[in-house]
Chain A
Amino acid sequence: MKARHMMAALVASAIALTACGAPSVPGQVAPSASISSPAVKSGSLTILTKFAAPEYAPYFEAVVKSYMAENPEVTIDLQQVGDQPYKDKIRVLSASKQLPDIYFSWAGDFANKFVRAGLAADLSAEIAPSTSWGSTFAPAALEAFTTGGKQYGVPINLDAKYLVYSKAALAKAGITAPAATLEDLLADCGKLKSAGYTPIAFGNQYGWPAIHYMTQLNAFNVPADTLAKDYNPASGEFTDPGYIKALEQFKQLLTACFNNGANGMSHEVAQANLTSGKAAMQYVELVEFGNFTAEKAPQAFADDWSFFRLPMATGSAGSPNALTGAPDGFMVNAGSENASVAVDFLKYMTNQTNAEKITKDIGWLSPVKGSATEANAFPQLIEALADVSKAESFAIWLDTVAHADVASAYLSGVEGIVSGSKTPEDVMASVKQAAAKAKKSVS
């Protein structure tokens, strides 16, 4: 009886509350921030990054510390959290209007969400390619944070995806040069299997490793204009036949090259199979190259590895010279009271000294030109930098460039292909459905 009373009261008050009008979620913050160089550097800054991992965090701490030492009037509160917690935290902060002055962002729609909500300061006046600061960056890196012709982010690293291979394994299978076409790669996989290797180690426990393959295969199979139109949530349709082709090529790789049970294995465990000599190749990010140096990998592997781009199938309709990858970046809160100091800090973080330091300390390539030298980088890193600068454009990670609904349809769909429960057609049907929903939500 009591319970019934309680229910009635609950329902009644719920109805009363709903009548009260819209819930209080963020209104637009007036983009009032002035970003030109501050006359006096003083005040406090808050910074939120997703680099809490012990191999990355010390770099950011060190830069903050040295900036504060040079500018004693400025106090910086640096907060670093992990990758997944960052996704939660930044949403909670932006919903409660407590966005830090400087915050991390992936390139693509993740950054555009902040732009659409008016939460990102327009930095064009300071960092457009024609400005003195902007001219120090690799243009493709700046391009990744450009929306509607305006610059909203400061790229802090360069990342790209490569097939890393063990030279010994390829030699043992009688392969003299890395594959130049997808067809060659599939044939090489057969040879590697006969030589007793897992051709390509693949751990897809959380779905994103497969998405990185799809990013590259979509760029190879779908013309760039169509791809850009479809990745834009306002106009995405995904009707090009290239999308199905890309998924079919992924399926070919799955049968010919990958280990079984990839959905049940993490990317890191798969990587251990590569470095321990069980597998011959793995598709990895540039930021992971540090894992293959003598400090972290077995000596036999560290002495004997190289890398190449995932090759394109002959006769594909997309961009042969697009490279999967994107810089990560920092954005400045449009409502920040200290935006000019925030921009000054970012300039400091990307000056030549600190750009070289990021390569030396954590093995990342900086988007700042000329920051990787023999003094601070290992040979493969310098080689990669040369290759990245040859790429015409970045194919930004599918799971950050596209709307979250589309990304998640891809993510679960490709997992289904890996486990054998879905066909490429099934996947595209749900991607189209998600694109329609995304279109509705941004219109």
Chain B
Amino acid sequence: MRRKLRYLGGWWWMTPALVLVGVFVYYPVLQNFQLSLYSWNAFSRAPRYVGMDNYATMVADEVFWRALWNNVIYAVVSLIFQVFFALVLAAILEEFVHRRLAGFLRALYFIPTVISITVSGILFSFIYNPEFGLLNKLLQAIGLGGLTRAWLGEEGTAMGSIIAMSQWQSFGYTAVLFIVAIQRIPRDLYESARIDGAGRVRTFVSITLPLVREMTTLLVIITVSGAFLVFNEVMVMTAGGPARSTHVLGTWLYFNAFMADDMGYASAIASFIFVITLALAIGQLAYGNRKRVEW
């Protein structure tokens, strides 16, 4: 009896959290799915049930696919810079650079992370400015005047320019996380590797890489899901233009909801984003359950 009460008591303690999560997380998710089956907007008198129409529109919508592709590119580039290069940078800072200088460089790489995204977006709009932007001026100065262009104004370069800004901003953050992970590796492993005659590259591949696996996994998941939720960077720098070429799923959703007054379609896009991020989260759970590396 007492045990049963205790068991129930546990549930009581959990109720507030369950209610909060239910009301603010699960209910909106379900309602969003429900709304995606209607054609409605903020001004409509009565929502009209349209079944899977919004999803059919989505499949046939060029901009949607373009946006999804942009997200995928964003994710791939972010993986290369924010995971791979950040790890290499962290290893270099830890292994090769003098302690005092390493501290200075760490701070230097980390600073962009603390700048607000709006500020850095505007800053980069100036750097990319076709007339007086630093980037074009730099290209001219080194004799590459032929490459100058309106970086944010051409379909071919706008998305790349936004992604580049985002790498500049986030790269230092992941590098610092890797540094912390590397510092946790016991030094004697490195010493014994050195005694065994391993070079620095060999040590990196055989010791550093496997022992920061947990951090790598975590950052892969954070980076990839971040890439699918990107919004501010695009909104500040191009708002999806020129000619809708820089829309990502988040901005295309926002555009349909608040500019084109098509809330039903926006909900359908939201459901799609939810499915992607849920899949990533499940991947994370599955991976997180694997055996940890012990030392």
Q: Which residues of A contact B47 (CB under 8 A)?
A: 22-23, 25
- Check A390 for interface membership: any CB of B closer than 8 A: no
Q: Which residues of A contact B242 (CB under 8 A)?
A: 207, 263, 412, 415-416, 418-419
The reply to whether B241 and A205 contact each other, CB–CB distance below 8 Å, is yes
Q: Which of B31, B42, B239, B285 is in CB contact (< 8 Å) with A17?
A: B31
Q: Once bound together, how far apart are the Cα atoms of A65 and B47, in whole Å?
A: 41
The reply to whether A266 and B125 contact each other, CB–CB distance below 8 Å, is yes
- Check B185 for interface membership: any CB of A closer than 8 A: no
Q: Which residues of A contact B260 (CB under 8 A)?
A: 404-405, 408
- Check B64 for interface membership: any CB of A closer than 8 A: no
Given A87-B259, A419-B153: A22 and B38 interface contact (C-beta under 8 Å): yes
The reply to whether A419 and B243 contact each other, CB–CB distance below 8 Å, is yes
Query: Which stretch (A50-58, A75-83, A112-120, A295-303) binds chain B?
Result: A112-120
- Check A329 for interface membership: any CB of B closer than 8 A: no
Given A18-B33, A113-B261: A259 and B131 interface contact (C-beta under 8 Å): yes
Instruction: Encode A261-302 as 1/0 by CB contact (under 8 A) with B.
Output: 111111001000100000000000000000000000000000
Q: Once bound together, how far apart are the Cα atoms of A262 and B128, in whole Å?
A: 12
Q: Once bound together, how far apart are the Cα atoms of A416 and B129, in whole Å?
A: 18
Instruction: Encode A338-360 as 1/0 by CB contact (under 8 A) with B.
Output: 00000000000000000000000
The reply to whether A13 and B30 contact each other, CB–CB distance below 8 Å, is yes
Q: Which residues of B contact A419 (CB under 8 A)?
A: 153-155, 242-243
Query: Which stretch (A91-99, A171-179, A377-385) binds chain B?
Result: A91-99
Q: Which residues of A contact B154 (CB under 8 A)?
A: 261, 263-264, 419
A18 closest partner in B (C-beta):
B34
Q: Which residues of B contact A14 (CB under 8 A)?
A: 30, 33-34
B32-58 with Cβ < 8 A to chain A: 33-35, 37-47, 49
Instruction: Encode B116-157 as 1/0 by CB contact (under 8 A) with A.
Output: 000000000100111100000000000000000111111100
Q: Once bound together, how far apart are the Cα atoms of A250 and B278, in whole Å?
A: 46
- Check A88 for interface membership: any CB of B closer than 8 A: yes
- Check A421 for interface membership: any CB of B closer than 8 A: yes
- Check B170 for interface membership: any CB of A closer than 8 A: no
Q: How many A-B residue pairs have CB under 8 A?
A: 146
Report, as a range, how many residues of chain A touch the other chain. 35 or more
- Check B238 for interface membership: any CB of A closer than 8 A: yes
- Check A3 for interface membership: any CB of B closer than 8 A: yes
Q: Which of A113, A261, A262 is in CB contact (< 8 Å) with B43?
A: A113
- Check B29 for interface membership: any CB of A closer than 8 A: yes
Q: Once bound together, how far apart are the Cα atoms of A399 and B130, in whole Å?
A: 26
Q: Once bound together, how far apart are the Cα atoms of A10 and B158, in whole Å?
A: 38
B75 CB to closest chain A CB, in angstroms?
21
Given A118-B45, A265-B129, A419-B155: A18 and B37 interface contact (C-beta under 8 Å): yes
B129 closest partner in A (C-beta):
A265
Interface size in chain B (residues, C-beta < 8 A)? 50
- Check A363 for interface membership: any CB of B closer than 8 A: no
Given A261-B149, A262-B153, A264-B152: A408 and B259 interface contact (C-beta under 8 Å): yes
Q: Which residues of A contact B69 (CB under 8 A)?
A: none
* Central interface residue in B31, B131, B158, B258, by most chain A CB within 10 Å: B131
Q: Which of B31, B153, B239 is in CB contact (< 8 Å) with A23?
A: B31
A162 CB to closest chain B CB, in angstroms?
24
The reply to whether B45 and A117 contact each other, CB–CB distance below 8 Å, is yes
- Check B282 for interface membership: any CB of A closer than 8 A: yes
Instruction: Encode A32-62 as 1/0 by CB contact (under 8 A) with B.
Output: 0000000000000000000000000000000
Instruction: Encode B232-265 as 1/0 by CB contact (under 8 A) with A.
Output: 0000001101111000000000010111111100
- Check B1 for interface membership: any CB of A closer than 8 A: no
- Check A422 for interface membership: any CB of B closer than 8 A: yes
Q: Which residues of B contact A88 (CB under 8 A)?
A: 258
- Check A149 for interface membership: any CB of B closer than 8 A: no
- Check A148 for interface membership: any CB of B closer than 8 A: no
B235 CB to closest chain A CB, in angstroms?
9
B260 closest partner in A (C-beta):
A404
Q: Which residues of B contact A118 (CB under 8 A)?
A: 45
Q: Once bound together, how far apart are the Cα atoms of A91 and B263, in whole Å?
A: 11
A366-410 with Cβ < 8 A to chain B: 404-405, 408
Q: Which residues of A contact B238 (CB under 8 A)?
A: 205
Q: Once bound together, how far apart are the Cα atoms of A113 and B26, in whole Å?
A: 32
Q: Once bound together, how far apart are the Cα atoms of A441 and B43, in whole Å?
A: 12
Q: Once bound together, how far apart are the Cα atoms of A405 and B39, in whole Å?
A: 14
Given A3-B285, A87-B258: A263 and B153 interface contact (C-beta under 8 Å): yes
- Check B14 for interface membership: any CB of A closer than 8 A: no
The reply to whether B243 and A412 contact each other, CB–CB distance below 8 Å, is yes
* Central interface residue in A118, A404, A422, by most chain B CB within 10 Å: A404
Q: Once bound together, how far apart are the Cα atoms of A91 and B45, in whole Å?
A: 13
Q: Which residues of B contact A261 (CB under 8 A)?
A: 130-131, 149-150, 153-154
- Check A413 for interface membership: any CB of B closer than 8 A: yes
The reply to whether B285 and A10 contact each other, CB–CB distance below 8 Å, is no
Q: Once bound together, how far apart are the Cα atoms of A153 and B261, in whole Å?
A: 21
Q: Which of A22, A87, A416 is in CB contact (< 8 Å) with B46?
A: A22
- Check A315 for interface membership: any CB of B closer than 8 A: no
- Check B286 for interface membership: any CB of A closer than 8 A: yes
A401 CB to closest chain B CB, in angstroms?
15
Q: Which residues of A contact B255 (CB under 8 A)?
A: 408
Q: Once bound together, how far apart are the Cα atoms of A441 and B265, in whole Å?
A: 12
Q: Once bound together, how far apart are the Cα atoms of A263 and B246, in whole Å?
A: 13
The reply to whether A206 and B43 contact each other, CB–CB distance below 8 Å, is no
Q: Once bound together, how far apart are the Cα atoms of A415 and B244, in whole Å?
A: 9
B206 CB to closest chain A CB, in angstroms?
34
B274 closest partner in A (C-beta):
A10
The reply to whether B243 and A416 contact each other, CB–CB distance below 8 Å, is yes
Beyond A206-B241, A262-B150, 6 additional contacts (C-beta under 8 Å) are A88-B258, A113-B261, A117-B44, A404-B259, A415-B242, A422-B243
25 cross-chain CB contacts under 8 A: A17-B33, A18-B37, A20-B34, A22-B47, A22-B49, A26-B43, A26-B44, A91-B261, A95-B42, A95-B263, A117-B43, A205-B152, A205-B153, A259-B131, A260-B150, A263-B242, A264-B151, A264-B153, A404-B260, A405-B262, A412-B241, A412-B244, A416-B243, A418-B153, A419-B155
Residues of B bordering A, CB below 8 Å = 26, 29-31, 33-35, 37-47, 49, 125, 128-131, 149-155, 158, 238-239, 241-244, 255, 257-263, 278, 282, 285-286
The 3 closest A-B pairs by CB, nearest first: A261-B150, A264-B153, A261-B130
